Every structure is written in C-alpha cells, then in structure tokens.
A and B are shown apart, each in its own frame.
Chain A
Amino acid sequence: MRRQIPLALVFIFGVFMIFQYFVPHESSEWIYEFLLDWIYIIGIFALALGIWSLIRVSVAKIKARKANWGYPIITLVGLFLMILFGFTGYRDGSLGFHFMTAEGLSNPMFRNFFDYILIPIQSTMFALLAFFIASAAYRAFRARNVLASLLLVAALVVMLRFNPYLGPIGPYVADAASWLLNVPNLAAKRAIIIGIGLGMVATALKIILGIERGYMGKG
C-alpha cells in the first residue's frame, strides 16, 4: 500500500500528461491548467517544511556549541525579522496583516531589507564569478594532453578578440572566434542536447513505468 499507491499515482498522472499533449480539446486543457496550479500550492506547503528544517538545523548548531555556533543566531534573527516585515504592514495608517497596498509594499522595511541587504550580497556573490573564471582559467588551461590543449586554444582564440594590439591579424582572430562560436559550437551543443533529450525522455519513461524509483528511496 505505502509504495503501490504512489507508484500508481505517478503512472496515472504521467500517462495523462502525455495524452494531454496530443489533445487540444478544452477539457484536456482545463485539467492541465488545474494540475499546474496545484503544484504551486503544494510547493508553498513544502516551503513550510523547508523553513522548519532551516530552523531546526540552526537551533541544533546553537545548542551544540561547536565552532561557529553564534552565526546561526544571525540567520534566525534575519529570518524572523524578515517574516515579521513580510507578514505585517501598514494600510490606511493601521498596522495589520497586510503585504501589498495600492501604493506598493505595505511595510517599507521589507523593501529596505531587500534593497540594501539582499541585493548587494546577491550581486556581489554573482560578481565573484569574475575572479573565479580567472582562477579556473589559470589552474585548468594547461596543455596537458590533446583535450586540454583544444580547450585552451579555443578559449584563447575567443578571448584574443579583446586584445587591441593584434595589428593586421586582428580581423582574422575575430572571424575565427565567431566561426568557433557559430559552427563547432552549434554542432557540439546539438549533439549534447540530443543526448540529453534522449536521456531525459528515457528517464521520464522509466519513472512513469515505475522502473526507476530512486526518488522514492528504492532502486
């Protein structure tokens, strides 16, 4: 029972979604739209589980008093403050259980935390990529063997476009770079995508047929 019903559910909904794709009729669309709506709603319930996990892990760390036990306190303070700001706000001058008003967010602190804490950290994390792309290039682009050399040469050709001191060979480098990006790139990506498509389709089919059940904890 505990395992059969979920597997039956997977099969029923999987097969329905396949058939739905070929049936343009209204009733099939109607169910399709409902199903997608449901998944969003279930996702919110799952998020509650997630937050619960976050709180539990943080509290456990604080209790254990191991190294860095103080930092989870910051996580919890941030979490509860932001929840407070997210769930209470002013509307028509009174504090209440509000989020949006006609003028925008009902709690300015929610916006401030977003603009001056989330955004700077987020864009700086993203900007770390500039450093990491350099260190990865330095570390990995060594002509160890044929494959690594091909990787290295292709990357150098494309990056050379930015060198203003190439003189007469400049235009050729630019042409070579755009050829690399247009032709072999297209071929390789297409080969990978066809492979991925097949792998995905096979996996999806195995899931629907109940052959692959790794996600239910059973191989």
Chain B
Amino acid sequence: MKYKSLVILLFIFCAFTLSAAQEDAAPVDTVQVDSILPPAPVSMLTAKDGENDHGHSITLRWALSADDGAGQNSVLSYDVFRWVPFFMDTLQSIGDSLDAAEGAVAEQLRKRRDQAVVMIPQVHKSYPEQGEWRKIGTALSGQASFNDVGVKERESRDYMADHTDYYYRVDAVTADSTVRTASEVVGPVQSYGQLFNTGRIPVFVAVIVFGFLTIFFVVRAKMGTELYVRPLAGIEAVDDAIGRATEMGKPILYVLGLGTAADIGTIASFTILGRVAKRVAEYQTKLIVPCYDPIVMTVAQETVKAAYLDAGRPDDYYEDIVYFVTQSQFAYVAAVNGTMLRELPATNMYMGVFYAESLILAETGALAGSIQIAGTDQVAQLPFFIVACDYTLIGEELYAASAYLGREPILLGSLKAQDYAKAAVIILAALGLLAASLNWTAFINLFSVTS
C-alpha cells in the first residue's frame, strides 16, 4: 500500500517536472527536454530461482520499457534493486572487523558471524520494515533480464542465503540518472539448489544410451559371438617391431607422452604398454619407458611388472625399466632425445597425449633409424606424427588398439558399441542437415546443452 502511494506521488512529480521542463526549456534547447522526460517503467517483471544451479541466485526478467529503443528512446540502462534488511550491515561490519582481527578475537567474531548468518532468512521476513532498497546491479538498454548471483560460501561478503524471501525492483534510467521510473515490486522469491540439471538432459540421454550399448555388446561378446575387426596397419606393426628389436638385439623405447593419469588417452596407453611389455618379456628384449608424470610412472611400473609376471619372467623385471625424468616438457624431450641417440632403439612407440614435442621426438627417432609407431588423441599433433612416423594410430584408433592387441572378446565388444554410436552420428547428422535446411528448430534444440 505504501508503495502504491509512492508511485502515484512519483507520477505527479513526473508530470510536474514534465510540464515545467516544457515551459522552461522549450525555447532554449530542445535536447534537454528529451533527457528530462521520465521514461515508461518496465513491465511484467518476474523473479525466479536461477535454473539448474546450486542455488544462491535469482533470475529477473522483464519486458523492456516502452522508451527503450522505441518511443522517446531515452532509456540508457536499468538499475536493479533488492530489498536489504539493515541487519545485513551488522553482518558486514562483523566481516570487516574479522578481517582485521587475529587469534582469539577472530575466533569469537567468527562464531558471532556463523550465528548471524543463520538469522538471514528470519530477518528478511520483516519486509518492508527495518530495511531499504539497495542497487545491486545494472542492465544495459535492450537487456530484459538480470541474474543476481550470490556466493555460496558463508564466509564471503557476497553470500546469498538460500530459502530466504527476496524482493526486487527495476528502475528504467535515462541519461540524467535522477530521471528514472521504478517498476512494481516483485517478491517474495527464494533461491535453492536443484537436484537435477535439466539443461544437461541430452548428455544424460547419451550416457544411458551409450552405457546400454556398451554393456549389451560386452555381454554378447562374453557369450561368444564372433566379431569381425578390420586390420589396422599400426597395430600389426607392433608385433613385427618387437620381433625386429629382438633380432637386432636393440631395445624398445615406449613413450607415454605428457599426459597424466587423468587423461583417458594415457590410460589407453597403459593397456597397450601392458601388451607390449608382455611380448617384450617373452622375447627377452630390453624395454625403456621414460616418464614425465610421477603418477603415470607409478602406474606404468605396476603395468610392466604385472606383464613380466604374466609372461612368466618375473625375474627379468627390474624397477628401472620405467623411470621418471622430470615434469618439465622440454627437459623431458631433451632427455628422451638423448636416450634415442645413445641407446639407438630398434622401435620407438609414442602412445598417449603429446603436445608440441611430438615432432622433436619423432624426427630425432627417425634420425636414430628406429621404426616409429605413434598414436595420439591430440588432433593438433596428428599431422606431425603422420609425417614423421612409420605408422600412426589416429585418434580413436589409439583407444581401439588395446582391444586389438589383446583380442579379448569383451574389449572387442565395446568396439562394436562404438561403431553403432558412429552409425547413429551419421543418421543424426543427415537428419540435422535436413532440419537445418528446413528450419526445423525443434530437432536442433534437442541437442542443445545449456548450462
């Protein structure tokens, strides 16, 4: 009620200034008249909890003022206001003193703040008493929404409590910031965290479909269905290369790249390393595995050790087959380069994640006269491996390699699942092409992942 009278007062005031301005300014300068006219307010203001988030945010939407981009075209921006209880000042001042405090005093203040933070929803209930409107942000002309995003950390100054009644208002502002029109108040509105991100439904569907496909084909393969896989030159070269190394009495160098255990490409490389190491152990050839990442080194040691055990030659295994060099890209490259020229390996294998060093390694290996087999999922490095190595596993072939080398039906089964997913991609791409040509946006939107 209080507010309505305010609006009426404001209108009267506006009307007065309007007429006064016209009387005064008309003969002098027409530009000033434009800027003094108060603009139309925004309409249809709504406030909602921010979607698909962890809470602590409110989204405001409105219809543009009639004078924004049209009418008098006088609106330059929108000021967004939130009703803030005076209590929040107390909280801020506790924060201020906490910044300066130390030791036991700080402990005390921290306790007080924690108690006060719990009170926030309570004090907001007193609206519109014991509080005031505060500007919390600006939206530019032409924009019809604003996100009031708070912080979830209770210790922060910008903490925005969930499950609290908030009230908002939006002012249309002209070039003269005193000339403005307020909207109606919207509220109460509460923020809270969602349990499911609806913007990510396409990903969820893909997870379900792909998971189902994989499990289906793995189970089928387990039951003994024969699966055809086409030959891959790079994979067939691996066996030859190990044989060649044995004949020449030279070692095999296996480079895991710069990936960490977090990279799936590196994990795929571990599996390949396991297969290679097993065969190397059987042939009693020497294996060299310099590592860039200490965790990768640890895993690689486990892998190689188990492979030697598997091959029935645990006594041939020694800890320094796999060793750590340094966690610096080019120092690692310098060391591997030196190893290549001094040990003259018969075969170099580069499997995993590589960056700019790919070409330095591959060219030095070529200089040393080694047969080189590479495989990486780093698209930018593929051209260099293709050019400088004898065989290259391109992208997905690196992941397929472990299944190929092991020839285990379970692993081959998942290749089948991948192929079905690719077939689905082709069909979807064709449908998408039609959809885009015929402006069938509903189909295209099915695939848009928001947030």
Cα A128 to Cα B417 in complex, Å, equals 42
Q: Does A204 contact B (CB under 8 A)?
A: yes
Contact between B274 and A50, CB atoms less than 8 A apart? no
Contact between B326 and A21, CB atoms less than 8 A apart? no
Give the interface segment out of B37-45, B48-56, B107-115, B134-142. B48-56
Contact A139/B366 with A22-B197, A26-B193, A206-B414 known, Cβ cut-off 8 Å = yes
- Give per-residue flags for A80-99: 1 if the beta carbon is below 8 A from chain B beta carbons, else 0: 00000000000000000000
Cα A83 to Cα B203 in complex, Å, equals 46
Q: Which of B200, B400, B408, B422 is in CB contact (< 8 Å) with A21?
A: B200
Residues in B neighbouring A163, C-beta threshold 8 A: none
- Give per-residue flags for B273-299: 1 if the beta carbon is below 8 A from chain A beta carbons, else 0: 111000000000000000101110111
Q: Which of B298, B299, B386, B422 is in CB contact (< 8 Å) with A195?
A: B422
Q: Does A175 contact B (CB under 8 A)?
A: no
Q: Which of A26, A54, A67, A211 is in CB contact (< 8 Å) with B218?
A: A211
Cα A172 to Cα B293 in complex, Å, equals 47
Residues in B neighbouring A193, C-beta threshold 8 A: 379, 395
Give the residues from 134 to 154 in chain A that come closer than 8 angstroms, CB to CB, to chain B. 135-137, 139-141, 151
Contact between A57 and B320, CB atoms less than 8 A apart? yes
Q: Chain B's nearest CB lies how many Å from the CB of A52?
A: 8
Contact between B395 and A196, CB atoms less than 8 A apart? yes
Contact between B323 and A189, CB atoms less than 8 A apart? no
Q: Does A166 contact B (CB under 8 A)?
A: no
Residues in B neighbouring A24, C-beta threshold 8 A: 52-54, 193-197, 451
- Residue among A60, A129, A141 facing the most chain B CB atoms (10 A cut-off): A129
Contact between A219 and B54, CB atoms less than 8 A apart? no
How many residues of chain A get a CB closer than 8 Å to chain B's CBs? 65
Give the residues from 108 to 130 in chain B that come closer than 8 angstroms, CB to CB, to chain A. none
Q: Which of A43, A204, A205, A206 is in CB contact (< 8 Å) with B294?
A: A43
Contact A132/B363 with A24-B194, A60-B320, A126-B356 known, Cβ cut-off 8 Å = yes
Contact between A22 and B200, CB atoms less than 8 A apart? yes
How many residues of chain B get a CB closer than 8 Å to chain A's CBs? 93
Cα A125 to Cα B335 in complex, Å, equals 11
Secondary structure of the A contact surface, majority rule: helix
Residues in B neighbouring A200, C-beta threshold 8 A: 264-265, 377, 399
Q: Does B62 contact A (CB under 8 A)?
A: no
Q: Does A8 contact B (CB under 8 A)?
A: no
Q: Does B58 contact A (CB under 8 A)?
A: no
- Residue among B271, B328, B396, B402 facing the most chain A CB atoms (10 A cut-off): B396
- Give per-residue flags for A148-165: 1 if the beta carbon is below 8 A from chain B beta carbons, else 0: 000100000000000000
- Smallest Cβ-Cβ distance to B394: which chain A residue: A192
Contact between B193 and A151, CB atoms less than 8 A apart? no
Q: Does A41 contact B (CB under 8 A)?
A: no
Q: Which of A39, A56, A189, A198 is in CB contact (< 8 Å) with B421?
A: A198
Cα A115 to Cα B348 in complex, Å, equals 33
Contact between A202 and B379, CB atoms less than 8 A apart? no
Contact between A140 and B377, CB atoms less than 8 A apart? no
- Smallest Cβ-Cβ distance to B334: which chain A residue: A125
A-B contacts, 15 of them at CB < 8 A, read A23-B194, A23-B196, A24-B451, A39-B262, A46-B295, A53-B320, A54-B323, A121-B330, A125-B360, A126-B356, A128-B360, A196-B379, A211-B218, A215-B271, A217-B309
Known: A203-B268, A205-B210. 13 other contacts (CB 8 A): A24-B195, A26-B54, A26-B193, A125-B333, A151-B386, A196-B399, A199-B400, A203-B267, A214-B272, A214-B402, A215-B271, A216-B302, A217-B305
Which residues of A line the B interface, CB within 8 A?
18, 21-26, 29, 39, 42-43, 46-51, 53-54, 56-57, 60, 67-68, 118, 121-122, 125-126, 128-129, 132-133, 135-137, 139-141, 151, 189, 192-196, 198-207, 209, 211-212, 214-219
